[in-house]
Amino acid sequence: MFPLLACTMVTTPFADVPIGPFDNLTKPYLLPVLRQVTVGGESSYDRTGGNDDGFSGKYSFLRKEGDTLVIADLKGPGVLLRLQTPTPTDLPLEFTFDGEAEPRIKAPFRDLFLGKTDGFPEPLVSHGVGGFTSYVPIPYARSLKVAYRGPLMNFYQIGYATLPEGTAVESWRPEMTASLEPALRLLKRTGEDISASMAPPSASLRTMRAEGRLQPGGSLRLFEARKGGRIVGLRIGPASAIAGPDRAILLRITFDGMRTPAALCPAGDFFGAAWGDPAIRSLLIGTDGSMSYCYLPMPYARSARIELLSERSSGPAIPIEAEIVVADAPKRPDEGHFYAVWRRENPTTIGEPYTFVRAEGHGHVVGVALQAQGVEPGQTPFFEGDDQATIDGKLSVHGTGSEDYFNGGWYDVPGRWDGRRSLPLSGCMDYRKHLGRSAGYRFMLPDPVVYHRSLHYAIEHAPEKNNIPTDYASVTYLYADRAPEGAGIVPPAAERAVHEPKKVIIAAGWNVPLQAFSLQNATVRKGDRKVGERNVRALSVRAEGRDIFGDHFVQALCDVPADGLYRLTIEAIAGPEVGSVQWTLEEAPVGPKADLYAPTPAVRTVALGTAPMRTGLNPVMLVLTPGQGNSIGLDLVTITLERE
């Protein structure tokens, strides 16, 4: 069942040396080694518990020194591992080492992330999905001061590791970038087979293949080992078949005779699915073509087993193919076992952040994938929540917002965090405001979250006070000397399944995908208005006369999650400048005209009819004609589609 293909890597030995400032990136095979560093963070988060995490700049510096704002003052020996912001400027950012009189690094803040600054090469610096991120390791022997030379600093996050006292560290110099060349090559191989890079040098590799049919209610063993080694590559397909919104196909991984599995997760979610659809193509985990892959190394001392389980009660068998790349390098005493913890809170607990993972002992988190869905479609304010890492009983890391945590920024803004995009170590798995959904992932290859006694890793689900109930589901990937809370445990299949909302609410004044409007004699704009006691944002259409081919119109593309019969209602501002609106399908009326004329503006909800729609984007044509006031226009606030 398992044909073997062997190849040998001939490089330097797997040395017993401390992990150095650049080794996280240049020696990724060391990922399972339990770290001796202490990690921490600096950020612009609101110290009062509110949501001013950088908007005003009030909390965006530690102190002022003349015309500079000091944003970090770190004591060595240590390494700055991550710098992230959604709001860079062209003003200088300065890095001063070891109490020196002048900064060694001084560059326009934005240029640090664009490959324009000496010592900050792409793809270790990058920008995308609204965020700007640097993973260039910046070591410092005694101290590092980071300062912004400008009047207003907005959002930022800095992650760092303090090394054991007495560790010999040379402070950063631009020439050090040359030693990062292996990391640059690796990061450019996203989606490729990087299993050889995740194996210790001099280890022999073999690729084992398995095929079979996974029956409803059955299991399929893909791999079993009865002597020590490590899995450095895992590929399973077809990706779409092991995913799915029912989350009923489970991946189970067990090492060294553990009573409970190290990983028991919905298979699709393990490989980065978003609500049942494969969504990630990162360096370490994702889907490429028909195959899902994982290149996080998994060492074991004596034995290992990988299985797929089906908890479906009916349906056809799934044809499965798998490839497992194994290195003949058993788990070492200084390494942790690999764990993947799947959790869901539906709804989240009011007043408490959502927990990614709780753990005791010694270990480090290396990745998180989160699917967040609000109770109400049409809005995602829960994604204002900040990440929090309480390490060894101390709040050590506090972020500035959920999309910032995933190296993005500005959700719901076109061209930023508004749709699926994968970068090598982070990205947006999906964003659909009309469904109340947002999802992201981040892998901490450069900056693992290390704990020595305990860890509570969590994220808020509201701008403040965790007061928005939501449906959160996550996978947390980590290495540890003992099982974290929840490892090897999943709820019954019925409690794992994706909730598909029956209602879709599209905020027309924000993000309606406007496909077309009248070809002449019409204008469209977006803006805010106060109507009564309510502040309203609307898509406003104004027209006169006739369009070139007849009545004036505006057509939107509306995304629905499932086939069905949908009832369309709109929320609009009735007033003296608007007229009648009617929903048409293939030029035939779906429902009656609705006259929105009123002498005084008022927000009104109007039903426009019912029609079938297919999964995905559907054109919604709204025809505009004169109303009682003889005006032609529409002030559209929301479009609601509800499946009957």
pLDDT of 267 above 90? yes
DSSP code at position 411: B
Q: How far apart are CA 260 and CA 482, in angstroms?
A: 11
User: Strand, helix or coil at 320?
Assistant: strand
pLDDT at 565: 96
Identical fold at 25-180 and 189-335? yes
pLDDT of 6 above 80? no
In Å, how far are 28, 365, 426, 588 from 445, measured between CA atoms?
7, 9, 11, 56
Q: Where are the domains of the chain?
A: 25-180, 189-335, 504-643
**What CATH superfamily is the domain 504-643?**
Galactose-binding domain-like (2.60.120.260)
pLDDT, the chain, mean? 94
pLDDT one-digit tens code per residue, 504-515: 999 998 877 789
Q: How far apart are CA 641 and CA 97, in angstroms?
A: 58
pLDDT of 295 above 80? yes
The residue assigned the tokens 């209610």 is: 217
The residue assigned the tokens 């003349």 is: 66
Share of the chain above pLDDT 90, in %: 91
Q: Are 384 and 243 in contact (CB under 8 A)?
A: no
Where does 33-168 show beta strands of DSSP type E? 38-43, 63-65, 68-75, 78-85, 92-97, 105-108, 125-128, 131-134, 138-140, 143-148, 157-162
pLDDT of 14 above 50? no
Q: How far apart are CA 303 and CA 227, in angstroms?
A: 5
DSSP code at position 268: H
Q: Are 99 and 145 in contact (CB under 8 A)?
A: no
Closest among 363, 349, 561 to 480, alpha carbons compared: 363
Class of domain 25-180: mainly beta
pLDDT one-digit tens code per residue, 350-390: 999 999 999 999 999 999 999 999 998 999 999 999 999 99
To the question of pTM greater than 0.85 for the whole model, the response is: yes
Q: Are 104 and 145 in contact (CB under 8 A)?
A: no
DSSP code at position 603: E
Element (H, E) at 187: helix 181-187
pLDDT one-digit tens code per residue, 550-586: 999 999 999 998 899 999 999 999 999 999 999 999 9
pLDDT at 1: 30
Contacts of residue 271, Cβ cutoff 8 Å, sequence gap at least 6: 236, 239, 242, 243, 278, 280, 285, 286, 287, 292, 293, 294
Closest among 313, 427, 330, 324 to 369, alpha carbons compared: 427
Region 478-488 average pLDDT: 97
pLDDT one-digit tens code per residue, 237-247: 999 999 999 99
When mean pLDDT is compared across 20-24, 70-74, 482-486, 530-534, the lowest value belongs to 20-24
Region 531-553 average pLDDT: 93
pLDDT of 397 above 80? yes
Confirm or reject CATH 2.40.30.10 for domain 189-335, answering yes or no. Answer: no
pLDDT of 9 above 60? no
pLDDT at 18: 53
pLDDT one-digit tens code per residue, 135-182: 999 999 999 999 999 999 999 999 999 999 999 999 999 999 899 999
